[in-house]
Protein backbone atom coordinates (compact mmCIF):
# COMPACT_ATOMS: atom_id res chain seq x y z
CA UNK A 1 0.00 0.00 0.00
CA UNK A 2 1.21 3.52 -0.77
CA UNK A 3 3.15 4.93 -3.71
CA UNK A 4 5.65 2.78 -5.58
CA UNK A 5 7.90 3.25 -8.60
CA UNK A 6 9.06 0.71 -11.16
CA UNK A 7 10.91 0.83 -14.45
CA UNK A 8 9.47 -1.90 -16.70
CA UNK A 9 11.56 -0.92 -19.69
CA UNK A 10 14.28 1.47 -20.73
CA UNK A 11 13.38 5.14 -20.55
CA UNK A 12 10.02 4.62 -18.79
CA UNK A 13 9.15 4.97 -15.11
CA UNK A 14 5.78 3.80 -13.74
CA UNK A 15 4.48 5.48 -10.58
CA UNK A 16 1.68 3.46 -8.99
CA UNK A 17 -0.73 4.63 -6.30
CA UNK A 18 -2.37 2.07 -4.01
CA UNK A 19 -4.49 3.31 -1.08
CA UNK A 20 -7.39 0.87 -0.59
CA UNK A 21 -10.31 0.82 -0.73
CA UNK A 22 -10.86 3.69 -3.20
CA UNK A 23 -7.52 5.50 -3.51
CA UNK A 24 -8.69 8.44 -1.41
CA UNK A 25 -5.24 9.71 -0.44
CA UNK A 26 -4.25 10.81 3.06
CA UNK A 27 -2.08 13.90 3.37
CA UNK A 28 1.20 11.98 3.36
CA UNK A 29 0.04 10.11 0.25
CA UNK A 30 -0.12 13.31 -1.80
CA UNK A 31 3.38 14.33 -0.71
CA UNK A 32 4.70 10.81 -1.39
CA UNK A 33 3.17 10.93 -4.86
CA UNK A 34 4.75 14.33 -5.55
CA UNK A 35 8.16 13.03 -4.46
CA UNK A 36 7.88 9.91 -6.61
CA UNK A 37 6.94 11.84 -9.76
CA UNK A 38 9.66 14.44 -9.24
CA UNK A 39 12.29 11.78 -8.59
CA UNK A 40 11.31 9.86 -11.71
CA UNK A 41 11.41 12.99 -13.85
CA UNK A 42 14.86 13.95 -12.60
CA UNK A 43 16.39 10.62 -13.56
CA UNK A 44 18.42 11.35 -16.73
CA UNK A 45 17.66 7.85 -18.02
CA UNK A 46 13.89 8.40 -17.90
CA UNK A 47 12.08 10.00 -20.84
CA UNK A 48 8.45 9.37 -19.90
CA UNK A 49 6.53 8.72 -16.66
CA UNK A 50 3.35 6.65 -16.51
CA UNK A 51 1.05 7.46 -13.58
CA UNK A 52 -1.38 4.69 -12.65
CA UNK A 53 -3.21 3.15 -9.70
CA UNK A 54 -4.19 -0.23 -8.30
CA UNK A 55 -7.67 -1.16 -7.14
CA UNK A 56 -11.19 -0.17 -8.04
CA UNK A 57 -10.45 3.25 -9.45
CA UNK A 58 -7.70 5.70 -10.30
CA UNK A 59 -8.35 8.25 -7.58
CA UNK A 60 -11.17 9.35 -5.27
CA UNK A 61 -9.50 12.54 -4.08
CA UNK A 62 -8.57 13.43 -0.53
CA UNK A 63 -9.29 11.15 2.41
CA UNK A 64 -12.11 13.23 3.92
CA UNK A 65 -12.25 11.00 6.97
CA UNK A 66 -8.74 12.14 7.88
CA UNK A 67 -10.04 15.71 8.04
CA UNK A 68 -13.14 14.62 9.96
CA UNK A 69 -11.06 12.72 12.51
CA UNK A 70 -9.06 15.84 13.24
CA UNK A 71 -12.23 17.89 13.71
CA UNK A 72 -13.49 15.18 16.07
CA UNK A 73 -10.30 15.43 18.12
CA UNK A 74 -8.56 12.36 16.71
CA UNK A 75 -5.79 13.77 14.51
CA UNK A 76 -3.25 11.63 12.69
CA UNK A 77 -0.01 12.51 14.47
CA UNK A 78 1.97 12.25 11.24
CA UNK A 79 0.12 15.26 9.87
CA UNK A 80 0.37 17.45 12.97
CA UNK A 81 4.03 18.34 12.86
CA UNK A 82 5.39 21.89 12.67
CA UNK A 83 3.31 25.04 12.05
CA UNK A 84 0.15 23.15 11.08
CA UNK A 85 -0.21 21.67 14.57
CA UNK A 86 -1.17 24.98 16.17
CA UNK A 87 -3.88 25.96 13.69
CA UNK A 88 -6.56 23.39 14.42
CA UNK A 89 -6.86 22.86 10.67
CA UNK A 90 -3.78 20.71 10.13
CA UNK A 91 -5.41 18.03 7.98
CA UNK A 92 -7.18 20.58 5.78
CA UNK A 93 -4.01 22.61 5.32
CA UNK A 94 -2.05 19.42 4.74
CA UNK A 95 -4.52 18.27 2.09
CA UNK A 96 -4.41 21.68 0.41
CA UNK A 97 -0.63 21.71 0.30
CA UNK A 98 -0.29 18.04 -0.55
CA UNK A 99 -2.65 18.29 -3.50
CA UNK A 100 -0.90 21.42 -4.75
CA UNK A 101 2.46 19.63 -4.50
CA UNK A 102 1.26 16.51 -6.30
CA UNK A 103 -0.48 18.41 -9.09
CA UNK A 104 2.55 20.66 -9.59
CA UNK A 105 4.87 17.64 -9.61
CA UNK A 106 2.92 16.13 -12.50
CA UNK A 107 2.74 19.41 -14.40
CA UNK A 108 6.39 20.33 -13.80
CA UNK A 109 7.77 16.82 -14.28
CA UNK A 110 10.83 17.20 -16.50
CA UNK A 111 9.51 14.58 -18.92
CA UNK A 112 6.01 13.91 -20.25
CA UNK A 113 3.55 12.17 -17.92
CA UNK A 114 0.97 9.71 -19.26
CA UNK A 115 -1.97 9.01 -16.92
CA UNK A 116 -3.36 5.47 -17.13
CA UNK A 117 -6.88 5.69 -15.70
CA UNK A 118 -9.14 2.81 -14.72
CA UNK A 119 -12.57 3.30 -13.19
CA UNK A 120 -13.38 6.47 -11.28
CA UNK A 121 -11.22 9.59 -11.45
CA UNK A 122 -12.68 12.10 -9.03
CA UNK A 123 -11.61 15.23 -7.17
CA UNK A 124 -7.87 15.08 -6.77
CA UNK A 125 -7.74 12.59 -9.62
CA UNK A 126 -8.90 15.37 -11.93
CA UNK A 127 -6.03 17.50 -10.68
CA UNK A 128 -3.57 14.73 -11.55
CA UNK A 129 -4.88 13.89 -15.02
CA UNK A 130 -5.59 17.54 -15.83
CA UNK A 131 -1.89 18.25 -15.31
CA UNK A 132 -0.70 15.15 -17.18
CA UNK A 133 0.54 15.36 -20.76
CA UNK A 134 -1.68 12.57 -22.06
CA UNK A 135 -4.44 10.29 -20.75
CA UNK A 136 -5.24 6.70 -21.61
CA UNK A 137 -8.48 5.49 -20.02
CA UNK A 138 -10.52 2.34 -19.60
CA UNK A 139 -13.94 2.12 -21.19
CA UNK A 140 -15.49 2.13 -17.71
CA UNK A 141 -13.61 5.26 -16.58
CA UNK A 142 -15.54 8.28 -15.31
CA UNK A 143 -14.21 11.75 -14.57
CA UNK A 144 -15.72 14.39 -12.32
CA UNK A 145 -15.58 16.87 -9.48
CA UNK A 146 -18.24 16.04 -6.87
CA UNK A 147 -16.76 18.81 -4.72
CA UNK A 148 -20.00 20.63 -3.97
CA UNK A 149 -21.50 17.41 -2.62
CA UNK A 150 -18.49 17.00 -0.31
CA UNK A 151 -18.20 20.46 1.20
CA UNK A 152 -15.19 21.37 -0.91
CA UNK A 153 -14.05 23.39 -3.89
CA UNK A 154 -11.10 23.11 -6.24
CA UNK A 155 -9.67 21.56 -9.41
CA UNK A 156 -11.98 23.42 -11.78
CA UNK A 157 -8.64 24.66 -13.13
CA UNK A 158 -7.85 21.12 -14.22
CA UNK A 159 -11.33 20.06 -15.33
CA UNK A 160 -11.22 23.07 -17.68
CA UNK A 161 -8.23 21.42 -19.38
CA UNK A 162 -10.33 18.34 -20.13
CA UNK A 163 -13.64 19.76 -21.37
CA UNK A 164 -14.91 23.05 -22.84
CA UNK A 165 -15.66 25.93 -20.47
CA UNK A 166 -19.45 25.68 -20.31
CA UNK A 167 -19.41 21.91 -19.92
CA UNK A 168 -16.87 22.30 -17.12
CA UNK A 169 -19.20 24.68 -15.31
CA UNK A 170 -22.23 22.42 -15.71
CA UNK A 171 -20.28 19.38 -14.49
CA UNK A 172 -18.88 21.35 -11.55
CA UNK A 173 -22.19 22.82 -10.41
CA UNK A 174 -24.06 19.50 -10.71
CA UNK A 175 -21.27 17.18 -9.50
CA UNK A 176 -21.93 14.98 -12.52
CA UNK A 177 -19.26 12.88 -14.20
CA UNK A 178 -18.18 12.47 -17.82
CA UNK A 179 -17.19 9.17 -19.40
CA UNK A 180 -13.87 8.36 -20.99
CA UNK A 181 -15.63 8.20 -24.36
CA UNK A 182 -16.99 11.72 -23.87
CA UNK A 183 -13.55 13.06 -22.98
CA UNK A 184 -12.10 11.25 -25.98
CA UNK A 185 -14.63 13.07 -28.16
CA UNK A 186 -13.38 16.37 -26.70
CA UNK A 187 -9.79 15.39 -27.48
CA UNK A 188 -8.51 15.20 -23.91
CA UNK A 189 -8.24 11.40 -23.71
CA UNK A 190 -5.74 9.84 -26.12
CA UNK A 191 -7.24 6.34 -26.20
CA UNK A 192 -10.12 4.43 -24.63
CA UNK A 193 -9.46 0.72 -24.21
CA UNK A 194 -10.82 -2.23 -22.20
CA UNK A 195 -9.92 -2.03 -18.52
CA UNK A 196 -7.39 -4.86 -18.71
CA UNK A 197 -5.50 -3.10 -21.50
CA UNK A 198 -5.08 0.36 -19.97
CA UNK A 199 -1.54 -0.01 -18.67
CA UNK A 200 -0.36 -1.68 -21.87
CA UNK A 201 -1.88 1.13 -23.94
CA UNK A 202 -0.25 3.75 -21.71
CA UNK A 203 3.11 1.99 -21.99
CA UNK A 204 2.72 1.87 -25.76
CA UNK A 205 2.37 5.65 -25.87
CA UNK A 206 5.17 6.10 -23.32
CA UNK A 207 7.40 3.87 -25.41
CA UNK A 208 6.86 6.07 -28.46
CA UNK A 209 7.67 9.18 -26.42
CA UNK A 210 10.71 7.54 -24.80
CA UNK A 211 12.12 6.76 -28.25
CA UNK A 212 12.84 10.48 -28.74
CA UNK A 213 16.10 12.12 -27.77
CA UNK A 214 16.13 12.51 -23.98
CA UNK A 215 17.45 16.05 -23.92
CA UNK A 216 15.12 17.19 -26.65
CA UNK A 217 12.02 15.71 -25.02
CA UNK A 218 12.83 17.63 -21.83
CA UNK A 219 13.22 20.84 -23.80
CA UNK A 220 9.90 20.11 -25.51
CA UNK A 221 8.14 19.66 -22.15
CA UNK A 222 9.57 22.93 -20.83
CA UNK A 223 8.63 24.74 -24.04
CA UNK A 224 5.04 23.51 -24.01
CA UNK A 225 4.59 24.44 -20.35
CA UNK A 226 6.04 27.84 -21.14
CA UNK A 227 3.35 28.62 -23.71
CA UNK A 228 0.46 27.35 -21.57
CA UNK A 229 -2.27 30.05 -21.60
CA UNK A 230 -3.18 29.38 -17.94
CA UNK A 231 -0.84 29.36 -14.95
CA UNK A 232 -2.30 26.18 -13.48
CA UNK A 233 -0.43 26.42 -10.19
CA UNK A 234 -1.57 29.96 -9.44
CA UNK A 235 -5.10 29.25 -10.66
CA UNK A 236 -5.47 26.17 -8.45
CA UNK A 237 -4.05 27.92 -5.38
CA UNK A 238 -6.61 30.69 -5.92
CA UNK A 239 -9.37 28.06 -5.84
CA UNK A 240 -7.95 26.56 -2.66
CA UNK A 241 -8.49 29.83 -0.82
CA UNK A 242 -12.23 29.35 -1.23
CA UNK A 243 -11.96 25.76 -0.02
CA UNK A 244 -10.31 26.99 3.17
CA UNK A 245 -12.97 29.69 3.53
CA UNK A 246 -15.65 26.99 3.30
CA UNK A 247 -13.83 25.11 6.04
CA UNK A 248 -13.54 28.10 8.35
CA UNK A 249 -17.17 29.13 7.86
CA UNK A 250 -18.53 25.71 8.84
CA UNK A 251 -20.14 25.07 5.45
CA UNK A 252 -17.69 22.27 4.66
CA UNK A 253 -18.35 20.46 7.95
CA UNK A 254 -22.10 20.67 7.44
CA UNK A 255 -21.91 19.11 3.98
CA UNK A 256 -19.22 16.57 4.90
CA UNK A 257 -21.22 15.30 7.86
CA UNK A 258 -23.87 14.07 5.45
CA UNK A 259 -21.28 12.62 3.11
CA UNK A 260 -19.56 10.75 5.93
CA UNK A 261 -22.77 8.91 6.76
CA UNK A 262 -23.24 7.71 3.17
CA UNK A 263 -19.89 6.52 1.87
CA UNK A 264 -16.24 5.88 2.69
CA UNK A 265 -14.86 7.69 -0.35
CA UNK A 266 -12.80 10.84 -0.62
CA UNK A 267 -12.69 14.15 -2.30
CA UNK A 268 -10.37 16.75 -3.63
CA UNK A 269 -9.31 19.92 -1.90
CATH at residue 62: 3.90.226.10
Which residues constitute the domain of residue 244?
A: 2-262
- Would you state the pLDDT for residue 71? 65
Q: Residue 52, SS3?
A: strand
In this structure, the strands spanning 12-18 and 2-9 are: antiparallel
- Would you state the pLDDT for residue 73? 66
In this structure, the strands spanning 48-53 and 120-122 are: unpaired
Q: Hey, which residues does 5 pair with through a beta bridge?
A: 15
Q: Which regions of the chain are under pLDDT 70?
A: 70-88, 259-269
> Of the candidates 111, 117, 171, which has an alpha carbon nearest to the alpha carbon of residue 146?
171
Radius of gyration of the chain (CA): 18
Position 173 in a domain: yes
- Would you state the pLDDT for residue 261? 54
Position 56 in a domain: yes
* Cβ within 8 Å of residue 76, ≥6 positions away: 26, 27, 66, 69, 70, 91
pTM score of the predicted model: 0.90
- Would you state the pLDDT for residue 75? 52
Position 269 in a domain: no
In whole angstroms, what separates CA 242 from the centre of its chain? 19
Position 34 in a domain: yes
Cα separation, 122 vs 143, whole angstroms: 6
- Would you state the pLDDT for residue 256? 74
Position 268 in a domain: no
Position 117 in a domain: yes
Position 24 in a domain: yes
- Would you state the pLDDT for residue 148? 93
Position 267 in a domain: no
Number of structural domains the chain divides into: 1
Amino acid sequence: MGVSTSSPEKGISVVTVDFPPVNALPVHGWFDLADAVRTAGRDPEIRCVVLTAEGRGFNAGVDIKEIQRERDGQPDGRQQQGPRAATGHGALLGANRGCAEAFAAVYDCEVPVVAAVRGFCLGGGIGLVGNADAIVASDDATFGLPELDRGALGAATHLARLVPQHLMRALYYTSRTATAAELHAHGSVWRVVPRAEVLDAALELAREIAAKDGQLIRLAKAAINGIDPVDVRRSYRFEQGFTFEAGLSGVADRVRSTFGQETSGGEDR
